[in-house]
Homo-oligomer: A and B are copies of this chain.
Amino acid sequence: MLDAPGLSLSKERFVVRYGLSAESRALALQMAESLCVEQTIEFPLDLIAAGPIREQVLGQVVDLEAVGDEEYVAGIAYAIETAGEELTQLLNVVFGNSGLKPGIVVEELKLPEAMLARYAGPRFGVEGLRRLVGAPGRPLLCTAIKPMGLSAQRLATMAKQMALGGVDLIKDDHGLVDQSFCPFDERVARVAEAVAEANAVTGHNTLYVANVTADATCRAARWQFARDHGAGALMLAPGLTGFDVLRQLAADEALDLPILAHPAWLGPSLERAGGGVAHGLLLGSLMRLAGADATIFPNYGGRFSFSPEQCRAIVAGCREPMGQLAPIFPVPAGGMRLDRVEELRAFYGDETMLLIGGDLHREGDLRRACARFVDLVS
């Protein structure tokens, strides 16, 4: 029998809510109890003596509720020390191994103040980003330069027209990274310059959002280049880089730029068929915890398949109380059109960033199309 007589952890715990598909309450409880083991000690429980490991390290089922036909939600509490100080390890405790089993959805993550305080969180949030672009009390408007294949110069010309049209943010399409036909340095320098020229004309502070998603070996150089060459914000896809990199970027005092999170590569992890990570957690509260100021996701009724309920859950993750962490912008996107702006504003409210890409190009004159977009929310 194993024990650890000297072990003495704090009483602080974080709670994870898991949706469980099970044929009976007894089986759901069994699943919950096996989560407690799997996510912490990963060791035969009958070989652990009564004492500190069982009492302090092992996860504890704090509640178990039936929520539907053969559907349960279990709350499991973990000692905060199990997650160390790292976001990678927090995610590891939350769902590192049990995500490999069927019938389990991570629904919610409730961190105590003691843990939240370790996260710088969003540096700007809704209020900070509003102040930066000088747009109080209406949805912020974002568009994207694209498609992949255009040169940096062509994209810069495009961005200038968009900025002259008065949108608040102009982002790189997430497929624009550092390709031979459009190198990162050239694109970022030229587009930032073009947007600055337009800002000098309009008097606005339209932000150019540079996509700094990159391999670990070149990330720091890209971030610094973007900062030094006038990018007004950064975009990162934490599904590709790891959520800890979003946290690192948001905490970097030298960068001091707002961050838009992109959902690339996170799709397969999302809840489906009774398994995965709930939309509101993965694309809402986790993005905010890691430090995003805005989180892009596919709007319901576009070319993706999110439901209005899933979109609402993401919005809740952006806005609901979360310790000292500022609320952030939900950014519904994905095949949005100008003729849906009114509907989107009604659904999401004004603390929202609307992102329309391709549809603006249908209008022919990009500057005019962006101006129309602005008129629709003014």
Contacts and interface: CB of A to CB of B under 8 A. Distances in A.
Contacts of A242: 216, 240-242, 245
Contact of A96 (B84, B85, B97, B174): B174
B269 A272 contact: no
Given A216-B244, A244-B216, A298-B100, A149 B268 contact: no
Contacts of A357: 42-43
Interface stretch (A161-169, A259-267, A345-353): A259-267
A237 interface: yes
Contact of A268 (B48, B99, B305, B362): B99
A67 interface: no
A320 interface: no
Contacts of A41: 146-149, 175
Contacts of A48: 147
Interface in A140-173: 146-151, 154, 173
B214 A88 contact: yes
Given A41-B148, A88-B237, A216-B248, 15 more contacts: A4-B151, A9-B180, A81-B181, A86-B214, A87-B215, A89-B215, A92-B177, A100-B267, A101-B303, A102-B305, A215-B244, A242-B242, A268-B269, A268-B276, A272-B272
A361 B43 contact: yes
A284 to B, nearest CB: 15
Interface string A268-282: 111011011100000
Contacts of A96: 174-175, 237, 240, 264-265
A325 interface: no
A101 B150 CA distance: 26
A322 to B, nearest CB: 20
A179 interface: yes
A91 B265 contact: yes
B81 A180 contact: yes
A215 B248 contact: yes
